Amino acid sequence: MKNRMLLSKQGEMRLEVTVFGSRPILDAIEDEALQQLRNAACLPGVCGLVAMPDIHTGYGLPIGGVMAVDAENGIVSPGAVGVDINCGVRAVSVPVGHREIRPHLKELLSGITAVVGTGVGSKTRSQIGKVTGHDFRRLVEGGVPELVPQGYATPDDVECTEEHGHLTPANLDHVSQRAAERGSGQIGTLGSGNHFIEIQQVAQVYDAKLAGPMGLVEGQVCLMIHCGSRGFGEQICQDYLRTMEHAMARYDIHPPTKHLASVPINSPEGQAYLSAMGCAANFAWVNRQVILYEIRKVFQRVLGLAPGKLRLIYDVCHNIAKFEEHGGRRLLIHRKGATRAFPAGHPAVPERYRGIGQPAIIPGSMGTPSFIVVGTDQAMTEAYGSVNHGSGRVMSRAQAMGKRGRAGKISDQEFRESMKGIVYMSGSGENLLDEAPQAYKDSVEVVDSLADIGLVVKAARLVPLAVLKG
């Protein structure tokens, strides 16, 4: 079949696996990533497993993996969710043209770095400050709606955030003190690695009927924010990986690798993990919302734009496990480096987009195009309402930096050439070669490999004007 590869059922696998992608993408997938899919297909209760064209090797389930598990008799696995729980991206429309904003790009990036913490272990520079005690519990259990009374969010922001920025269950009692300590000072921070804030231009509108409700027209400016749950989510993942490694034997669960440590969904450990994961998901949505709040103030100071003019298009999460109904069956869908993309008419889609489908945001790599798409009914039946979350790496960070021999190393000159005409900055001063466009797959080919077979419809293509990396 076009743009699909099937991994046949063999050994302990419970089902065959579908991998989406064009032929060049499929031919280039690492053997290790494919083996990780085969390993996941052996888990108890797994009833569906697909991989997106941005697939690459991860921890447990590969990045780009979507795993459906029976909600009553299946397992939950932190390695199939990811370390950075609810790493996600939000897109924002800005009602100015790209020519108008170009003279102010450096000032805008500098202003953003002054209020958004960047880099490994970064602490908040936001007005919200360090959040502890009852306030921390309130935010991680209640999510973005808890920011509305304080003025950090609007009802429209809540409406256009996946799950309205509030996932349940979420009980801080299921989170370690160490995780809470790591998270308390990190709300409003970007972090490092592939996290970014990007000012973009709408380069092409493919479908005005889709782009119109999103407020997108060619030539205007958009903004993307990509980050997650920081040290809070990372600590929760590590805590529960250890818990499940020790608990598996009691439930007679023996995965092919400890990286897929799992327990039954309905076990005490499984329920506690889902509650802790909900706290991390809410933390991440709050984090991106506070960053947007601070960015709105910077745009107001530099361009005179009222904060309400920067309108949230949508916020999607990656690295999550959520209960959904597919084919009349209740499932726990693990999306690791994959994005929810429900079609027109689905009850989870905001009213504004009910007639077109939920916007799914697919960022490119640094210096390459990003896309906003909507999912289709076909994506629901073939991919559990999921699409890819980005481009996907073709080089590890070590390879890109030349730390594993000379092969694959990206030169400073190659990097500068690929970023010509784009203002860019590392907020922490880190070298950006490991985030160079050459380290990633072609975002156009990745998105087209799904659009060509009807899993998504493209609404708009966005190109970078300025990029802030953590």
The residues annotated with a catalytic role in the active site are 389
286 burial (CB, 10 Å; 0-12 / 13-18 / 19+) is: buried
Angle at Cα 388 formed by Cα 260 and Cα 256, nearest 5°? 15
**For residues 161 and 225, what is the distance between their CA atoms, to the nearest angstrom?**
13
Name the amino acid, one letter, at 360.
A
4 burial (CB, 10 Å; 0-12 / 13-18 / 19+) is: middle
90 burial (CB, 10 Å; 0-12 / 13-18 / 19+) is: buried
138: enclosing H helix or E strand: helix 133-142
**For residues 225 and 211, what is the distance between their CA atoms, to the nearest angstrom?**
19
3-state DSSP assignment of residue 360: strand
Reference 336, options 40, 132, 105, 32; nearest CA is 40
3-state DSSP assignment of residue 338: strand
Conformational region of residue 225, where left means phi above 0, alpha means psi within -120 to 50, and beta covers everything else? beta
